A and B are shown apart, each in its own frame.
Chain A
Amino acid sequence: DQQVKQNSPSLSVQEGRISILNCDYTNSMFDYFLWYKKYPAEGPTFLISISSIKDKNEDGRFTVFLNKSAKHLSLHIVPSQPGDSAVYFCAASLYGGGGADGLTFGKGTHLIIQP
């Protein structure tokens, strides 16, 4: 059973608009969440993270929101740019994030920014 779910395999957004990528999780023991971005033929690169003690974390055009009661997080990209076209993976960790237990990833959402 999948513990981290990204229910939208793809998302198309116009350049300049807001992109919202969603992620749900089932394991209430997850306490740290990360978003990774992946271009074709490259490994995923870390984008932004959030601890379960927070409900928002912002870094430039990227903001992650966490709703613990709903076990839901979202990544907002404003404004969307052509270089944002990539596959985005949501990931979660037990006990502090990225540690020796590794990360549990969702299946990814392919974001396409239309000119």
Chain B
Amino acid sequence: DVKVTQSSRYLVKRTGEKVFLECVQDMDHENMFWYRQDPGLGLRLIYFSYDVKMKEKGDIPEGYSVSREKKERFSLILESASTNQTSMYLCASSLGQAHSPLHFGNGTRLTVT
């Protein structure tokens, strides 16, 4: 069974802090994704990666960056956290082939004060 693990369930950070959200998957998946979920807005894609050291912008990349130094690990970085980045962040992974569903972690609830 695929396991996608997000390092923190809850985080509270101050405005202007640099924030790291970590995600690890154990199924050797090629693709990894970061989404955020907000009430009334559903899930929106921030960044994704289809290979080590490769990254692509999703629909809402502003204010975020990512790092994928190893195949199993995908990090989301908030360079200078702002209150509008308070959200539920969801990491996902999938095989690099057609019709592969995304497998999600349990999410990190980030609050920026």
Residues of chain A touching chain B, judged by Cβ–Cβ distance below 8 Å, are 6, 9, 32, 34, 36, 41-46, 49, 51, 89, 91, 95-108
Contact = CB atoms under 8 A, between A and B. Distances in A.
A98 B100 CA distance: 5
Contact of B98 (A6, A44, A45, A97): A97
A56 to B, nearest CB: 17
A51 B96 CA distance: 17
B97 A89 contact: no
Contact of B103 (A42, A46, A101): A46
Nearest to B50: A100
B99 interface: yes
A99 B105 contact: no
A44 B100 contact: no
B100 A103 contact: no
Given A99-B96, A100-B31, 10 more contacts: A41-B107, A43-B4, A43-B90, A43-B92, A44-B102, A96-B99, A98-B99, A98-B100, A98-B102, A100-B96
Interface string B75-98: 000000000000000101011111
B104 interface: yes
Interface string B24-42: 0000001101010000111
Interface of B: 4, 9, 30-31, 33, 35, 40-45, 48, 50, 56, 58, 90, 92, 94-107
B48 A89 contact: no
A100 B35 CA distance: 14
Given A42-B107, A43-B90, A102-B33, A51 B42 contact: no
B101 A34 contact: yes
Nearest to A31: B98
Contacts of A96: 98-99
A32 B58 CA distance: 18
A9 B94 CA distance: 28
B48 A100 contact: yes
Contacts of A9: 40
15 contacts: A43-B4, A44-B90, A49-B99, A91-B43, A97-B98, A98-B95, A98-B99, A99-B97, A99-B98, A100-B30, A100-B48, A100-B56, A105-B42, A106-B42, A107-B42
